Structure 1
């Protein structure tokens, strides 16, 4: 009637209630109110993390009102207007109660709701008093209601006012147990396993998958909080709880259950990838800066921009929407959380670092800070425990430890630092030679996450890690392991040119990347291409890539592939190879010139793909001699897209397009007027790269 109530897309203990409109029919309002009460009744036999008695009493209060509501609807076709005020207040109160019950039963939020027991009890008191206040204004004299129903409502009002809704004793004990364990963490004392079990069993967390949901939920809560002065304490407390549950997941839970434990993608993950496959990467670019949006916000007109870009626009005195030109009556910026999550998922899938410049100092998952002392010490204990398992455990114990490292290393930079300091890198590298395909995959996936932390990369190279990683890339037990290995090489090569050279010196490194790209799977191609691009930062690797036969493979991808990101990566590699004369010769030999012209002329590639395509043609023109330029001059379809790049491309793309246009014009003028020397010296174009 008013809206679909669904708590899955909101944060806990927030109550976005909607007030019924003034023109709503009382009959409609009554029907919606009864529907709400029925929804609340469905929680009657549900397990509650805490406030069990308070929740049952609130549900009973609602159920006692149902006969009264049915009687009003069935026996009073024409209700007086004063009834609407009472029913509207009840409707708002029932919405809030439903939200509260959803939070108390939400999967993953059990520990958080236990620790909020006092606040939750207070919310139940507010709801109870609100019900009594709403019924106070009901005009019994003007509405046909049975004497029994009226007496029942008056009794209910009295009970609602007098109900205490206090924190329950068992909840208090459980909260004290959690605080005691957090205090032990702070004092670097490993808590008793029995104490941990008592707490998590009290909140109904008995399996690994349930514990994992708690960790993920708390991680999400921390991600939404800021680190300003007002919220530092809250972030610290949430971090402590997350440390508590992470410790329980790794140390207390004996068996990994659920889909994630079997290394399968969850439904949510599959759905995310399906969504991403239907979205163009250009949709994630800010219309102002043409860069990937880190903090997308929506303005009054419904258009979305990156927060930093639109703020600069507004601060410059512009009071209009940049896309529509419409004057803004409000400069309120509404965070586009759905788009932000999609951008994060896109970056994760494509191996793009997601450094949120607008919130860099506020997002605890992006810093080396632990969030709290308890979280810090808990994570150090967990890291040491897992390293011991890999070093001294049996086969399955090693695999389980590598799996937990894989999960923890995704959580935050701080977790990565703890694992690295505990000595995980050499142990994981040794595990890569395991014949257990699951252990090998978990180990290389953990190393991939750790490779995003600068200190781990040197350790990988110093501990003969390149040989192990290339070994997995070449003959990994699973294709997923080979894909992860390629991604590790990308981070190693892109962070340090010397690391890239050492990778290139491994005989099987580049040939294995080529075989991975030839596999044809999207993830294989993507990881193989970005790893190869990272290697090209070292000049020696360009010749190695050419010798290994990468050029024909890349050109074939341009001819046959329909994936924008794969085409873009292939063009980026070819453009880099073309910067060398031998690279240009290899590309021209395979007949790639016309392929590049066709891509640019069709405008089918992404914005970045077009930029790389222009860069490729510019390099081929400068290094390929007059025959190449003469060939391009004959292509009438080329100039339109090049001029479009001047206005629609990125700043770098615009400069490259301008340089190529001048090269073509220069050649045309020299040919027309018989000049032997170029009008514009070649050196003038080099600096625009």
Structure 2
């Protein structure tokens, strides 16, 4: 009887009841692609997707590999528990009052998988044996060599005029003085493009007029067994989406994203680089951002950050920055493990990749769960150390501001000597690249002063009063306001009237 009761409960959660319609629908990434149900034990497989663990085990037992909505086939050779996603699901259930998922029953999962197997046989006839399909897939993933440099630089608004290309607007915040477009996007292409490619590019100018046909043409060519054909297709896609805003929207189909994913795995520098750059271009379209993350691209971008070619890494950082602009993507990107690789690129990458990694981290740490994750990685000391690096200090201080806005981050920053570091940056005013950087340093100090009994002593030891007086006299209006508030905290009850009078 106990077993039957368990089966019944699991079935209710597996096939959502009509009463669940009144509750908030769970994020798509919380649902198993096979069962379409909230996952009880999410697990990451070799190809990067996350499934209910029981669904993976049943598929392996039955020797079945499902075809997902985007046309991809997952690799079930390894299964790793996704504890971070499990925690996120449970937290979502608690916040929304939704019922927590129950452990699935093998027989119920088997019924669903067998139903998928039946529909797959009808769809896939004439049949190809699994071994042959896998062999063809492996051959198709072997791509070419063509290096056209389409770079991606983040341009400060006050230094460069914006181009005619789309510039996606990020979360409005007075602390972010940068254009919200990846660094690698603003460079011109390398002049080493072949004449064949140039003529092919010209012929694609009207790609949006027959979007579905053109998208399918790109898919066919990128899936070709001819490495040269793959290279030409992905390079053309990169060029087309760089200048054609409409093409970014119309070409970004599930099938195209799946074909692009295969080329992100390429060991050929030109193919991997151009595929990653094309993904950056597609991600500039706001409507594409969620679609790209749900296509399972983020784990591949993380792998490129770790093991990819240098220019590919630059574009991968830019893609993650662009995708992180979308609020619905922030938690998923953090759960999938992007924070640590981005932090590493911030310390060791090229100028372009460091800039985009910093802004990706800024947008990701607007979410509390990501702030907690990055603090557990020991980021406080790392970020404060990078404030001494003029190449990235202006962007790193934005991340510090986010971390200083909650108790756990504030405590870690104080432990890492953040007050002395920020005061030192403000004292060396000549090293600040802009007034906005100065404002952000003062804003970080202001956040650190909230509810902290330690702040007064640390600020006085660092000589903050003298530095903040100068900011209050010569800084921008926003910097002056925050400097005065900090001085009021340091001076005590009589401070505000005295200081305001001197102003």
TM-score (norm 1): 0.42
**Which structure's CA Rg is the greater one?**
1
Q: Deviations over 1:382-430 (max 9, x none)?
A: 4442222013352221122111111111103112123214842222122
Contact persistence 1:642–1:661 (CA under 8 A): no
How much does 1:652 deviate?
Answer: 4.2
Match of 2:423 among 566, 589, 597: 597
CA distance in 1, matches of 2:400, 2:147: 39
Match of 2:147 among 240, 262, 266: 262
Question: Does 1:607 find its partner at 2:443?
Answer: no
Contact persistence 2:465–2:487 (CA under 8 A): no
Contact persistence 1:473–1:486 (CA under 8 A): yes
Contact persistence 2:182–2:321 (CA under 8 A): no
Cα distance change, pair 472–261 in 1 and its aligned pair in 2 (3 A): closer
Match of 2:324 among 493, 498, 505: 493
CA distance in 1, matches of 2:407, 2:365: 15
How much does 1:451 deviate?
Answer: 0.6
Structure 2 alignment gaps of length 5 or more: 1-144, 164-176, 187-204, 499-503
Superposition CA RMSD, Å: 3.8
Counterpart mapping for 1:514-525 below 5 A: 514-525=343-354
Cα distance change, pair 375–458 in 1 and its aligned pair in 2 (3 A): closer
- Larger RCO, structure (CA 8 Å, separation 6 or more): 2
Question: Does 1:543 find its partner at 2:365?
Answer: no
How much does 1:349 deviate?
Answer: 6.5
Match of 1:555 among 384, 395, 404: 384
Q: Deviations over 1:473-498 (max 9, x none)?
A: 2222x0221221122112222212x4
Counterpart mapping for 1:161-176 below 5 A: none
Quote the residue 1:505 is aligned against. Answer: 335
Match of 1:408 among 212, 215, 240: 240
Q: Deviations over 1:428-483 (max 9, x none)?
A: 1222122223211111111111111122222222222222222222222x022122
CA distance in 1, matches of 2:385, 2:344: 14
Contact persistence 1:444–1:485 (CA under 8 A): yes
How much does 1:661 deviate?
Answer: 3.3
Counterpart mapping for 1:253-402 below 5 A: 262-264=147-149, 284=159, 350=183, 376-377=208-209, 382-402=214-234
Quote the residue 1:581 is aligned against. Answer: 407
CA distance in 2, matches of 1:644, 1:350: 35
How much does 1:522 deviate?
Answer: 1.3
Contact persistence 1:579–1:623 (CA under 8 A): no
Q: Deviations over 1:227-260 (max 9, x none)?
A: xxxxxxxxxxxxxxxxxxxxxxxxxxxxxxxxx9
CA distance in 2, matches of 1:481, 1:667: 56
How much does 1:347 deviate?
Answer: 7.3
Contact persistence 2:404–2:444 (CA under 8 A): yes
How much does 1:636 deviate?
Answer: 4.2
Cα distance change, pair 512–422 in 1 and its aligned pair in 2 (3 A): closer
Question: Does 1:661 find its partner at 2:490?
Answer: no
Greater percentage in helix: 1
CA distance in 1, matches of 2:184, 2:481: 27
How much does 1:351 deviate?
Answer: 7.0
Q: What SS class does the counterpart of residue 562 from structure 1 fall into? A: coil
How much does 1:579 deviate?
Answer: 0.9
CA distance in 2, matches of 1:570, 1:416: 30
Contact persistence 1:600–1:641 (CA under 8 A): no
CA distance in 2, matches of 1:562, 1:600: 13
Quote the residue 2:279 is aligned against. Answer: 447
TM-score (norm 2): 0.57
Quote the residue 1:624 is aligned against. Answer: 452
Contact persistence 1:383–1:422 (CA under 8 A): no
Counterpart mapping for 1:630-645 below 5 A: 630-633=457-460, 634-644=463-473
How much does 1:570 deviate?
Answer: 1.0
How much does 1:526 deviate?
Answer: 1.0
Number of aligned residue pairs: 323
Quote the residue 2:87 is aligned against. Answer: none
